[in-house]
Amino acid sequence: MLKRIAYAILSIVLLISCGKSDTVTLVSSTGRINHVLIVMNDEDWQGKVGDELKKIIGEPVKGLPQEENQFSITQVDPYTYNSLFKRNRNILFVGLDKEESFYTNHNVHASPQTTVTILSKDKEALVENIRSHADEMIDIFKKNDLALYQRKITKDFHDPETIETLNNLGISMKIPFEYKMVEDSGQFLWYRNTFERGLLNIIAYEVPVFGEPYTMASLVSFRDSIGKSYIPGQFDNTYMRTEPQFTPITAKVKFNDINAIESRGLWFVEGDYMGGPFISYTVEDKANERLIVVEGFSYSPSSKKRDVVFELEAILKTMELK
């Protein structure tokens, strides 16, 4: 009974705080990209409710060479949830109450901040509530982080109007100044960011399509021809190509009113030992009988790949059609 009362009070406080957020100056939120703070009692965290959350939120990111969870997690008990924790950017409240609910609030204690609350009358119902809202919950936190990261990394970016290949493709994209031009031929675009742990790359090109249906195999084949023509390795006769032992994972996505095919896979350098993950978006341009492809690929040996691929995704999703 005490736990139910505690969570009910917590829910009321959240609603009241949310209502006041328009008139109160909020502190800046804290927290790393792809991190979620989970507020629930320790007993449930160690039981079947926690197991379900760990399975959903800790699901591996698709298309990486090593297994990495899509979110890092910190769990705290409601009784230790103090002002320090309240500044976290992504917070998930989980507990028991008389009524089942699932709702989202924004900028409750800090800004930008997103909180998701999941409540049910008993533990069995709570597990089902979590399971039924799994995709929505992940989507909420990911979109929140993606929007924040886009604002952060694209404050200063190359003027798209000065990039010939983008103009020829009929698109714009916010490529941060940290990325330096390697090539902009009008048919092929390549920008690179050299950072402490490796290299981040953005490329763009078109795939001619003349009435024939395209397949993932044909896109991979064309991608490999692009790598052979434009992206050499460090030695003679070496070039980038798609890892044949790993079929790219695809999904239909929509952003900025653009319908695209998202592909996540692995690349390697033919004749060398370099490799890493890539993420790409393919957009159909029927009027010009072509596909437009924008892609990011990273090389960061001996380090985690999740957050660098997330950065590439954030940049690519600034693409807009002119």
Q: Which of 136, 152, 168 is the last residue of a domain?
A: 152
- Same domain assignment for residues 302 and 249: yes
Query: What is the reported pLDDT for 19?
Result: 46
Alpha-carbon torsion (122, 127, 128, 130), positive or negative: positive
Q: Which of 120, 152, 184 is the last residue of a domain?
A: 152
Q: Which of 130, 152, 174 is the last residue of a domain?
A: 152
| CATH number, residue 278 | 3.40.1000.10
Query: What is the reported pLDDT for 24?
Result: 67
Query: What is the reported pLDDT for 153?
Result: 80
Q: Which of 298, 283, 274 is nearest to 61 (CA)?
A: 298
- Same domain assignment for residues 129 and 33: yes
- Same domain assignment for residues 181 and 294: yes
Tally the domains of the chain: 2
Give me the tens of pLDDT residue by residue for the chain, a chain 322 residues long: 444 444 544 553 454 344 444 556 789 898 888 999 999 999 999 999 999 999 998 889 999 999 999 999 999 999 999 988 999 999 999 999 999 999 999 999 999 999 999 999 999 999 999 999 999 999 999 999 999 889 888 789 999 999 999 999 999 999 999 999 999 999 999 999 999 889 999 999 999 986 667 788 888 999 999 999 999 988 898 999 999 999 999 999 999 999 999 999 999 999 888 999 999 999 999 889 999 999 999 999 888 999 999 999 999 999 999 8
Query: What is the reported pLDDT for 272?
Result: 86
- Same domain assignment for residues 126 and 104: yes
- Same domain assignment for residues 232 and 127: no
- Same domain assignment for residues 303 and 166: yes
Query: What is the reported pLDDT for 10?
Result: 53
Over residues 183-195, the pLDDT tens digits come to 999 999 999 999 9
- Same domain assignment for residues 147 and 6: yes
Please give the residue range of the domain that contains residue 57. 2-152
- Same domain assignment for residues 259 and 178: yes
The strand pair at 35-39 and 90-96 is best described as parallel
- Same domain assignment for residues 122 and 20: yes
- Same domain assignment for residues 147 and 161: no
- Same domain assignment for residues 148 and 167: no
- Same domain assignment for residues 72 and 191: no
